[in-house]
Amino acid sequence: MSHIRRISVHVDESDPGHFYWVLMEEGDDASQWRELESADESYDMWLDALQAGTKALIAYAPDERIGPREPGDDEDASPVGIPIR
C-alpha cells in the first residue's frame, strides 16, 4: 500500500469577513504545494469555513481507517497492522 496523500486544509480571507476553505496537496518536492480544491462561496465565520474544508478533506478518504491514498491503490487491501474482519 502506498503512503498517505499529504493534503492540508487552510482558510483564506480574500476580503475582510469572507472566508474560503482551500485544500492543498504536497507535490513531488516537499516545498511545492498545489491547490486541489477550494470553496465556491465564502463563509461568514472562519470556523464554518474550516469545518467545511475538513469535511471536503475527509471526502478524499475512501476508508476512514486508512485515509486518502493515491489513485490506483487497492482500496480493498488490508491496511498495514489492521486485520480484515
Predicted pLDDT at 74: 53
Handedness of CA 62, 66, 71, 73 (dihedral sign): negative
Cα torsion through 79, 60, 56, 16, rounded to 10 = 110
Looking at the chain, the whole-number percentage of residues with pLDDT higher than 70 is 81
Q: Where are the domains of the chain?
A: 7-58
Averaged pLDDT for residues 30-54: 96
Q: What average pLDDT does the chain have? A: 87
Judge if pTM exceeds 0.85.
no
